Amino acid sequence: MSLLQDMMTWRHDFHAHPELGFNEHRTAARVAALLESFGLEVHRGIGRTGVVGVLQKGNGTGSIGLRADMDALPIHETNGFAHKSQTDGVMHACGHDGHTTMLLGAAKTLADSGDFSGRVVFLFQPNEEHGEGAPEMLADGVFDKFNVDMVFGMHNIPGMEVGTFATRAGPICASEALFEIEITAQGGHAALPHMGVDAIVVGAEIVNALQTIVSRKLDPSLNGVVSITEFETDGKRNVLPGRAVLRGDARALTPEVNSTIEARMRQVVQGICMAHGVSATVRYETIFPAVINDTSAAVDAVQAAEHLGHVNGACAPKLFSEDFAHFAAAKPACFMLMGNGMTGAHAQPLHSADYDFNDKALEVGAAYWVALVEQQLA
């Protein structure tokens, strides 16, 4: 059987048996067993359910880390193909089944016939979707135990042609911060609003005012997003609410912009609540830092991808978030984007119930990893 056929079999198995973050027990066991069958040194339980494979060839002292994520999402799959999820309410809607498979394919190729001298550390990471897997592996001392000179990651992008790549030096993926604003006002009778302070009115003013952070408080040349996603109150049909809770999500491409959003948010909430004579608390937690590509690593990644197809080495940054950011903060790093296709399930948005990773991208992605290793550890 060819490597592509092997990879398709592996991916379809991963896709049919998806597992949520830190519950990737079956996936991790399958990954570890395959790595061992390729002849790699394998370490289990790094970052709870993470797996690390180590491949040394020759007497070279250089080292490179390659990372793939393994977890799925709590989504009910609507696809009808044979390898659709067999676990109700869980599916690989972000392509991590493909990411894992491409790295396995690269490990097999490099073990069998890789032309390099040095050490490759294969990082199979759990729980990327909640931003907890990379920090957990780092807390477990992954780079103390398996030091690398540089670390590289990759993600598929629906709507990009298979065989195309994109990355950039500097910020490539945004930070994500979750915020909660709790307003404590004075409830009362809906017919007597003058006797209380309606928390809905205060909250509505805050919702509108928060939109001015990006439009009026940030340099127009910088990117940011502030989205209110939930608005809850304790009001009833004829009862004005005395409490309202707003929740949402903020994105930024630099730590400075993220800090500005937080500071301006606190200022807006305080000002509006003071004007109405009510109080509020603001909780703002950055879950994912921004992914900042090292300039030298980005040049190296582009050079490796040029052998395989078209590559845009100065693409626009993306406002989605990635916990590869934690690895990129620890080591010189580059995060690469790879085309998943232009039609059908391969072009559906990430995290949609009818998305599927494109099997045609498996060989391309594995070949990129091999080219990168052989280039860096020549």
56-69: per-residue pLDDT in tens? 999 999 999 999 99
Distance CA 320, CA 312 (A): 19
> Which among 69, 71, 132, 322 is annotated as catalytic?
71
Q: 98 and 179: one domain? A: no
Q: 182 and 326: one domain? A: no
pLDDT at 283: 98
Q: 301 and 160: one domain? A: yes
CA atoms within 13 A on the CB side of 362: 25
pLDDT at 184: 98
> Which among 24, 97, 128, 182 is annotated as catalytic?
128
* Residue where a domain stops, chosen among 273, 288, 303: 288
Q: 139 and 225: one domain? A: no
pLDDT at 84: 98
pLDDT at 139 over 80: yes
Q: 31 and 123: one domain? A: yes
Longest dimension (CA), the chain: 82
Token pair in block for residue 16? 């049919």
Q: 34 and 51: one domain? A: yes
Q: For residue 307, what pLDDT band results from cuts at 50, 70 and 90? A: confident
Tell me the mean pLDDT in the region 105-124: 98
pLDDT at 124 over 90: yes
Note down the domain range covering 202.
Answer: 175-288
pLDDT at 94 over 80: yes
Tell me the mean pLDDT in the region 6-21: 98
Q: 185 and 218: one domain? A: yes
Candidates 336, 332, 334; CA nearest to 147 is 332
- The CA angle 245-247-248, to the nearest 5 degrees, is 160
Candidates 21, 360, 352, 25; CA nearest to 164 is 360
Q: 207 and 325: one domain? A: no
Mean pLDDT of the chain: 97
Q: 66 and 136: one domain? A: yes
- Is residue 128 part of the annotated active site? The answer reads yes
Tell me the mean pLDDT in the region 318-342: 98
Q: 76 and 131: one domain? A: yes
CATH number at residue 252: 3.30.70.360
* Residue where a domain stops, chosen among 265, 288, 311: 288
Q: 262 and 244: one domain? A: yes
* Residue where a domain stops, chosen among 235, 259, 288: 288
Task: State what percent of residues in the chain have pLDDT above 90.
Answer: 99
- Is residue 115 part of the annotated active site? The answer reads no
Task: State what percent of residues in the chain have pLDDT above 70.
Answer: 100
Residue 287 near residue 180, CB atoms below 8 Å: no
pTM of the model: 0.95
Domain count, the chain: 2
pLDDT at 195 over 80: yes
